[in-house]
């Protein structure tokens, strides 16, 4: 994450952890989002980020597939460029990267495959 998206790195959030009311093991994530003035937490673990715990901070939690599908709809070329960058850094073909995404993000992977259909 820090290599692909260094702009997502937040520091100085530790003092906020006690104020968080979401699941204890993920309070550091919400604290970092609050500290970084982040509007959306992208997570597979939605059960630990319930709206009742996030609304106070003006933050939403979204599943990665939902987020990526929306992003692809808005800026498909940027999404494809980022995935190409990931494939290049991994030293694998673009198609293999799409298939890897398909393991956890099947709808998103299908959308990318359709782009090349």
Domain boundaries, the chain: 6-62, 66-115
**Treating both helix axes as pointing N-terminal to C-terminal, what angle do 106-115 and 64-74 enclose, rounded to 10 degrees?**
20
Give the model confidence (pLDDT) of 19-33 as tens digits: 999 999 999 999 999
Q: Phi and psi for 14 in degrees, rounded to 5?
A: -55, -40
pLDDT of residue 117 exceeding 70? no
Token representation of residue 72: 């692809």
Spatial distance between the Cα atoms of 111 and 108, rounded to a whole number of angstroms: 5
Tell me the torsion sign for CA atoms 103, 76, 63, 108.
negative
List helix spans (H) across 1-117: 27-35, 51-54, 64-74, 76-90, 94-102, 106-115
Give the model confidence (pLDDT) of 69-78 as tens digits: 999 999 999 9
pLDDT of residue 12 exceeding 80? yes
Spatial distance between the Cα atoms of 38 and 18, rounded to a whole number of angstroms: 18
Going by C-alpha positions, the residue among 28, 24, 5, 6 that lies closest to residue 15 is 28
Token representation of residue 29: 């994530």
Spatial distance between the Cα atoms of 4 and 72, rounded to a whole number of angstroms: 17
- Host H or E run for residue 57: none
The pLDDT score that the predictor gives to residue 8 is 75
């Amino acid at each position: 994450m820090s290599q692909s998206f260094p702009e997502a790195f937040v520091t100085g959030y530790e003092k906020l952890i006690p104020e968080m009311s979401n699941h204890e093991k993920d309070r550091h994530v919400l604290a970092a989002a609050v500290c970084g003035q982040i509007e959306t937490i992208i997570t597979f673990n939605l059960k630990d980020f319930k709206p009742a715990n996030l609304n106070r901070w003006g933050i939403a939690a979204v599943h990665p597939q939902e987020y990526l599908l929306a992003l692809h709809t808005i800026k498909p070329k940027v999404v494809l460029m980022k995935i190409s960058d990931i494939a290049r850094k991994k030293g694998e073909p673009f198609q293999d990267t799409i298939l890897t995404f398909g393991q956890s993000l099947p709808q998103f992977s299908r959308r990318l495959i359709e782009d090349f259909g």
